Amino acid sequence: MSDDPAVLTAPHPAPWGLLGSITWAAAGIVAWFMAQFAVVLVYMAWIGPDADMKKLATNGFLLALATILAGPIWVGVMALAARWRGWSAGDYLALSMPKRGEVLVGIACLAPLLIAFDFLGLALGRDVVPPFMRDSYISAQASGALILFFIAVVVVGPVAEEVAFRGFLFRGLSETWLGVAGTLAITSALWAAMHIQYDYIITVQIFVIGLVLGWLRWASGSTLLTIILHVMTNLAATVQAAIKVDWLS
């Protein structure tokens, strides 16, 4: 390793700009979607004419399999974009280990918010567990795919989404005229819009959670922090679904 201060302090190349960030992000989403679509096609061919199209959207096994296979492809495209720009994937995507205090602050920010959303739902006469989550859990349980379901929902999904939105897009867009505030709004809106399986109330909640995660990403400089918090959030939601289905039904 060189001891030359000029080498040790050499700045990274500029990140992808507005157009480049959007183009690469779109490429990642297209690759992710096409991978999921391919899994669905193979599954339908395997099932044959007995496939129930209406139940595919909440087929826990299919959702888990598609997520687990497509997620790494999405992450791979984001890593490729980083490398192509002359960065290491870890640096560009801010995959640095957060401090213990940052994790605790993140939990302190998110936990009250999630609890408030649950109480708001109950006050509006809504179930704490969304129908999509409940039906998918029941389907995964019936097909013996609960382990795959947990891996997909609690690990793979959060990692892929955080790398794409709080990692890649945040890095590029925050350096443009959008700034941090504009980037938080846009990445949170795009992230929420991807969750088409939920109604508008939950979509708004996801947008707010995205703002909090984005702020924590900016404040800490770590996407690993938001990955950890996203994993915890999805774990709590999955445990709620399990309690609803297995104990309260």
Please state, in angstroms and as integers, the Cα–Cα distance from residue 180 to each residue in 89, 171, 176, 204, 240, following that order: 21, 10, 9, 20, 33
pLDDT of amino acid 249? 72
Q: CB–CB of 121/127 below 8 Å?
A: yes
Q: What are the sequence ranges of the domains in the chain?
A: 15-246
Return the pLDDT at 4.
37
What are the residue ranges in the chain where pLDDT is below 70?
1-10, 49-54
pTM of the model: 0.93
Tell me how far apart the alpha carbons of residues 186 and 85 are, in angstroms, rounded to a whole number. 22
Q: Report the alpha-carbon distance of residue 125 to residue 137 in Å, rounded.
A: 22
d(CA 8, CA 1): 9
| Total number of residues shown for the chain | 249
Cα 179 to Cα 158: distance, rounded to the nearest angstrom: 24
Extract long-range pairs of 186-195: CB within 8 Å, 24+ residues apart. Answer: 187/214, 188/213, 188/214, 190/165, 191/161, 191/165, 194/161
Rounded distance, CA 211 to CA 198, Å? Answer: 18
Q: Tell me, what's the pLDDT at 13? A: 94
